[in-house]
Every structure is written in C-alpha cells, then in structure tokens.
A and B are shown apart, each in its own frame.
Chain A
Amino acid sequence: MDDHIERKPAKIRLREIAEKATQDAWEAKLRGEKVGWCASNFPQEITTTLGIPVVFPENHAAGVAAKGGGQRMCEYAESMGYSSDLCSYSRISFAYAALKECPELNIPQPDFLLCCNNICNCMIKWYENLAVELDIPLLLIDIPHLDAFPCDEDRIRYIRAQFDDCIRKLEELTGKKWDEERFKEVMAISQRSSRAWLKAVSYAQYTPSPYSGFDIFNNMAVAVVARGTVEAAEAFEQLAEEYEENVKNGVSTFKAEEKYRVLFEGIACWANLSYTFKTLKNLGINVTATVYGPAFSFLYDNLDELMAAYSYVPNCNVFERELELRVNDAIRHKVDGAIFHINRSCKHWSGTLYEMERQLREKAGIPTVVFDGDQADPRVFSEAQYLTRIEALVEIMEENKRKGARK
C-alpha cells in the first residue's frame, strides 16, 4: 500500500513514457539504427515486436501546434507550394522534413516511412510526398474504408497479407528478425494496455466524472506511441485506479463544478487548446465522451481479429457504426449536449459530421452545436465563434435541465 502511495501520478508516468519513446528513437538514431516515421494507427504490434524505433509525425505536429509553432510551420509548407487547404499535420511535417528542426519539438529524421490509411487517404499522399522528398522507402498497409460492420473476411485477408509483407520488408530494411514468441507477448501487452485505457476512459460515466475530458487528449499520446509496452500497460492501469479512487472520494481532475457534461467530437484544436478548454471549464462544462477511447484501443483475441481491429478506428467505419459508437457513448456517459469540431484539416471526418450531428441529436435526445476549427492551424479557429456557439449550447442545456427538474 505504501508503494501505491509513493507512486508517481499516472499522468506524470504517461508523459514520461511518451517522452522516453521519442528519446529512445533519438538514441537509436545515434547508434546508427534506422528510424521510421509512422502513422498513428499503423499496427504497432509490427514495430514493437521487431523492436524498430519509430516516431509519429501526427503526434509531433500536434505537439508543435500545442507549443505555438503550428502557424509558422504551416506557412513554411505553403511557401514550398503546399496549399493551405491541406491537412495541417501534413503541412507541419513537410516543413519539418525540409527544415530538419524546429524550436518547439524535435524528432529524428526518418530512414523509412510506415503508412496506414485507416484514418484517411490523406496519409497516403502525405507519405508519398515525404518518400519522394527524402528519397526513402515507404511501406503502406492499406485498410479500406468499411462498408458494413463487422469487417468482412476479404478485408481481413487483404490486411493480413500486407501485415506479413510489411514484416518481411522491414526485416530486410532493418536487419531485425521477427520473433513469434515476442509477437504473442506484444499482443498480450497491447491488450492489457487497451483494456486499461478503455477502463480508465469509461470512468467518465460517473457523475461527476473523476477526470477532465481534455486529459484524454494528453494521455492518448501513450496509447499511440507505446501501447505494446509493459510500462504503458501499468501506467494505464494506474490511471484507471486513480480514477476509481476519485470516484470513491467524489473528486475529479476537472477543477470546476461539473454543471454540464458533453460529448466532444473531433480532434482537439491543439493550437487553441487552452482557450477551447478554459471556455468550457469557465462555463462548468466537462467533456465526458469522446471517440478517442475506442479510437486507440485495439481489442482482439486472435490474428484475424487483430487485422479487423485496425479497421475499427474512427473514420474507417461505415457511417452507421460511427453513429452508433457516439450515441452509445453519449447515453452511457450521460451527456447533456455535444460539440462538433468541423476540422478544416480533415475532409473525411468533417464530411459526415452534419448528418452525424442531426442523427445524434435525435437519437440521444441532446442539443448539439458545431464550430469551425483546425487541429493545428490556428488561423482557422475563431474564439468569438467558439464562445458564441458554446454559450448557445449552455442556454439549451440549462433550459433542458430546468424542464427536467420541473418534471
């Protein structure tokens, strides 16, 4: 028990794990090992099993944007000829690949690229360009958008074949050898991490929620970069324990009265994280539902299910499944309303949100608002629009509560 008390808080451990993952990649690079740039939803079981150091340009771009470098890096990419219409993560990445360093956050330059398009086909174009710009190999695991749920056998067979092909090519590229026993171990650890992550996130169903919903945006970094490590599994388990403890004690990492509970749809506006969070907090709004819980948990009991799991990420599912996930989450986590981020960077995610908003509003019986923003380019976000929309949502949620109380 004493050990338990003396432990570092889970959020610190998680931050350290994320930092260590990047540090490990730097050290590997210095040792002369080949380092990859990897898509966030690429099957990490492959790289972890092979012990191949990778870093994640999406996380890097989010980090650069959160530290204030988003606009400058995007503008640099635009000076290279890239349209401001393009995904801001990719623009930051192109700028970084050209500049090789930036004051906000540095990652090692890549020797190869690991792409997966389950979240978007934009990833393909982004990595194609990096491959040509840097003249390095690009491996793609193509996970076609689902037209039904669950994932069909044709897709599973196709993903499996690419999985095997990718392993073979990475062995050739890095000289490292695939080890089935290690693979089983990594799968087991990944499952443990995923279950713990899902458990931790699920505590938002309690009222008040034992944590601030924006914590998810920070903690999920580890779910991306180190899901297959024991350290991550343990830290997520600790996170779940801490939330459970908070529930018992009636406390929360959300440091305001939780007047309203909302579903937040979309990627965070990393460049405007503070404003978007504080506006909600000042109005007593806590985020108790996001799709990020299921997004970075990959549950499976066998190899076929592992392949299918990578097609269940947000943006890869058929519309009705995406809707079902939101409706269930909204109901289970007892939200009073929903906020939809029309993310200028993300054509696929934003392209179905108007219909998603209408159907969620009806099926979950909650008010909804949309706002325009971007995951990393602050020029797209308007504080005034955001505030006005959130205030409008509060008015309706307040009215609904008043009516509910009267009943």
Chain B
Amino acid sequence: MNRMEELLRAFRNIADNPKAQLEKYRAEGKKAVGCMLYFCPEELVYAAGMIPFGLWGARTQAVEAKRYLPAFICSVLQTTLELGIRGAYDGLEAVMIPILCDSLKGMDGNWRYSVPHIPVIPVAHAQNRKTEAGVAFTASQYRKVKARLEEIAGRAITDADIRDAVSVYNARRAVMRRFLELCARKPGLLKPSERNAVFKSSCFMDVREHAGMVSELVALMEEAPAGEFKGPKIVTSGIMADHPNLLQILDDLGYAVVDDEVTHESLRFRADVPETEDPIEGMARQVGNIEGCSVLFDPEKNRGKMLVDLAKKSGADGVLLVLTKFCDPEEYDYVPIKRMLDAAGIPAIQVEIDQQTAENAQTLTALETFRGILGY
C-alpha cells in the first residue's frame, strides 16, 4: 500500500467511525460540541479550545425518532435525532441547531424533550444575508452562541482566539480548494467514495489534523501522473452525496466526481471568512458570500448559474443532482436549476436518496442509464 492509499484509507476510517473520534478527543481531555448540518459557526467552538463535531445523520433506521417526527421529514434529521435518542452522541457538551429549513426549525423543540441531556444552542442566520442589517443580525446571534460556548468551555473566548480560529479554518479551506481543483484536474485519481471520505472526515476531526492530512494528500496528488481517464465525469449537487450505496454505485460504474456543489462537501470550503476588525462580523459576512446552497436565500438562483459554471470549468460530461428525500428546499430548486442546465446543454439527472434505505437498485439503474446518455 502506498502513502496515498494509506491516507485515503485513514480518511475513510475516520469518516466511518465518528464515535471513535469523539472518544479519542474526550480521552485527550477535549470537549466537543455538535454542529447539526449546515453553517454552524465552527470557528467559535474551535476558538474555545473545543472540537466542533458534525451531525449529518447516518445510514440507520429511525425508530425512536418517529415518535417525534412525521415520516415526511428528511432522513438526515430523522437519523440524527435517532442517534441522539439512542445515545450515539453522548459525550457531546451541546448541539448547535441552525434554523435554515423548516424541518430544522422544529428540531430544537424536539431535541430538548427527546435528548434532554445534550443542551441545544440555537443558531439563527439572517436570510437577507448580504445586507448590513443581515450581517449585523447574524453577528448578534453568533455572539449569543459564543456566550453559551464560553459557559461550556469554562473560559472566555477572546477576539484573538477567534482570529486564530478563523485563520486556521481559512487555511484548511484553502487546502480543500486545492484538493477540489486536483479532483477536477486529475479525474479518476480518486474514486468518488475516496473523494467523499476526505470531505466527510472533516466533520469529525480537529481542523489542524484534517488540514495536515489533506495537505499531504494534495502533495501526493500533485505528484501523481494525470493518466488518461476514460469514464464519465460529473459534478454533483445537493445537500449531501454521502450514502454508501450511492458512492459504491458511482465507484463501480467508473464515474469521476470532478467538482461539486454539495453543502456537506465543497460549499463548506469555498468562501473564506473575511478578516475583519471584529472577527465575528467577518464570520457573519461569510454567510452572505456563500453561493450554491438551497437553504440560503437566493432570489436570482445563482445556484443554477454556479452549477453551470462548475460543470463547464471542470469539463464535466453531466451533472448529478442528489436529492435528499423530503428535502423541500432541494425539491423547489430542482425545477429552475434543471431548466438552467438544460438551457446550457448540460445533461443532468436527479436521484433521490434516503439515508434509511439499504437498497438502491433504482439509483443503479438511473446511473447506468445516465452513463449511457453521457456516451460511456
């Protein structure tokens, strides 16, 4: 096994074993705070000397969660709540819950009664996020979050702490963007499942450790010969593209993911936090700079334009829209975005993914067909 294989295996191992990661950090005397889905202010957790820990559900069956959530709430939240109830997140000091979609708006209430031993820290972002009033509001909410984190950490979080955290996080964003670029430049070097593990592992790792491993991988990818890739190249888009069966199908059918507009993947790394005098203001401004996500106000559907650009720039043959079942922001976006892709002459297909399903025969058929459509 060469070093690149070792690294990729390590990323996968971490991505598949979040509980072991949590226990490892706790054994080191570190506290961890859950960050449910998208755009929680991780830098503040890190500035307090704690580990932000991503909660994005898992492939499991929701049973206890069904006492709280109707069946038509997405499986990401169903399984996240299920894991909380089952005790999988025991050891987290608190969980941050944003309110960026309607299903999340109900999560804080449900969580408080179903997982009472892990306190909730609500995170509100402005949807009019590019305006000064919006930035000021998001910043005000981040300050509230900061105060809660200080209680948990048992110490003050200074502006210098936040600036350091922002700097570390921006450095990781930079190396992740190099990784993205290399995935586009050298298709086939990493399988889709390997590429996913690099992103997913970031949810369960100290940012410096993760950045260090990615830097090493990036250096090896730079050195690796580009080779000739003969399979279909795609850009993925959606909240998550993480289901093991989906990744296996993409691997088996020889797809290469040359770029993505996936919230769980590149959208967390595309926009740096601007370095401002008040570092929290910079963090709030970053929310206004993020494009491509269905849960952030996007009156001109820049997401569609961005997706068309990503597909063109990366030389993709087509776009795979990964719909998290019952995610209404994604379902709304599908219609205008598909039309924009059609208008640009970019072939696109949507597959619906539910974290609770073990069987994905339909996805296999769809992606086999799509490969044919793309001429492979």
Where the two chains meet, the residues of A that have a C-beta atom closer than 8 Å to any C-beta of B are 80-83, 85-87, 90, 117, 120-122, 124-126, 128-129, 131-133, 138, 140, 142, 144-145, 147, 154-155, 157-158, 161-162, 165, 315, 318-320, 322, 342, 344, 346-348, 350-355, 359
Contact = CB atoms under 8 A, between A and B. Distances in A.
Interface string B104-122: 0111111011100000001
Contacts of B294: 125
Contact of B299 (A83, A90, A131, A318): A131
Contact of A142 (B72, B73, B127, B332): B127
B72 A347 contact: yes
A320 B110 CA distance: 11
Contact of A129 (B125, B131, B137, B332): B332
Classify chain B: how many residues form its interface, as a range: 35 or more
Given A86-B332, A128-B301, A347-B328, A355 B113 contact: yes
A318 B112 CA distance: 12
A125 B301 CA distance: 10
Contacts of A350: 70, 72
A352 B110 CA distance: 7
A140 B137 contact: no
Contacts of A347: 72-73, 102-103, 106, 326, 328
Contacts of A124: 127, 297
A346 B132 CA distance: 31
A348 B70 contact: no
Nearest to B132: A161
Given A125-B328, A158-B134, A344-B72, A354 B100 contact: no
Contacts of A162: 128, 131, 133
Given A142-B297, A145-B105, A354-B69, 8 more contacts: A81-B338, A121-B102, A125-B294, A126-B332, A144-B127, A157-B133, A347-B73, A347-B106
6 contacts: A142-B134, A147-B124, A348-B102, A350-B70, A350-B72, A355-B114
Contacts of B103: 347-348, 351
B144 to A, nearest CB: 8
B335 A85 contact: no
A186 B138 CA distance: 31
Contact of A140 (B102, B128, B132, B336): B128
Contacts of B334: 81, 83
Contacts of B313: none
A354 B108 contact: no
A144 B70 contact: no
Nearest to B109: A319
B300 interface: yes
Nearest to A142: B127
Contacts of B131: 161-162, 165
Contacts of A354: 67-70
A157 to B, nearest CB: 7
B267 interface: no
Interface string B285-323: 000000000110111110000000000000000000000
A346 B102 CA distance: 8
A117 to B, nearest CB: 7
Nearest to B74: A347
Nearest to B102: A348
A351 B328 contact: no
B128 A351 contact: no
B278 interface: no
A81 B326 contact: no
Contacts of A359: 113
A94 to B, nearest CB: 8
B363 interface: no
Enumerate the 10 nearest inter-chain pairs by beta-carbon distance, A residue then B residue, closest first: A319-B109, A161-B133, A351-B106, A125-B332, A348-B102, A147-B122, A158-B137, A154-B140, A142-B127, A83-B331
Contact of A318 (B69, B100, B109, B336): B109
Nearest to B127: A142
A86 B109 contact: no
Interface in B10-37: none
B299 A125 contact: no
Contacts of B109: 318-320, 322, 352, 355
B328 A142 contact: no
B140 A145 contact: no
Given A81-B338, A125-B294, A158 B133 contact: yes
Choose among A122, A147, A351 the residue with the greatest number of B CB atoms under 10 Å from its CB.
Answer: A351
Interface in B333-353: 333-336, 338
A348 B329 CA distance: 13
B72 A132 contact: no
B126 to A, nearest CB: 6
A133 to B, nearest CB: 7
B102 to A, nearest CB: 4
A337 to B, nearest CB: 21
Given A121-B105, A133-B336, A348-B102, A128 B299 contact: yes
Contacts of B102: 120-122, 346-348, 351
Contacts of A80: 335
B99 A142 contact: no
A318 B331 CA distance: 26
Contacts of B328: 83, 85-87, 122, 125, 347
A85 B72 contact: yes
A101 B125 CA distance: 38
A162 B128 CA distance: 8
A157 B109 CA distance: 25
B137 A154 contact: yes
Contacts of B105: 120-121, 145, 315, 348, 351
Contacts of B133: 157-158, 161-162, 165
A328 to B, nearest CB: 18
A66 B141 CA distance: 42
Given A315-B105, A351-B70, A351-B73, A128 B134 contact: no
Given A81-B338, A121-B102, A154-B141, A355 B134 contact: no
A352 B137 CA distance: 26
B162 to A, nearest CB: 19
A145 B128 contact: no
A264 B66 CA distance: 22
Contacts of A157: 133, 136-137, 140
Contacts of B68: 354-355
B101 interface: yes
B290 to A, nearest CB: 15
Given A125-B294, A128-B332, A144-B137, A351 B69 contact: yes
A196 B245 CA distance: 58
Interface string B28-69: 000000000000000000000000000000000000000111
B108 A319 contact: yes
Choose among A80, A147, A347, A352 the residue with the greatest number of B CB atoms under 10 Å from its CB.
Answer: A347
Contacts of B298: 128
A126 B134 CA distance: 21
A107 B323 CA distance: 33
A142 B72 CA distance: 25
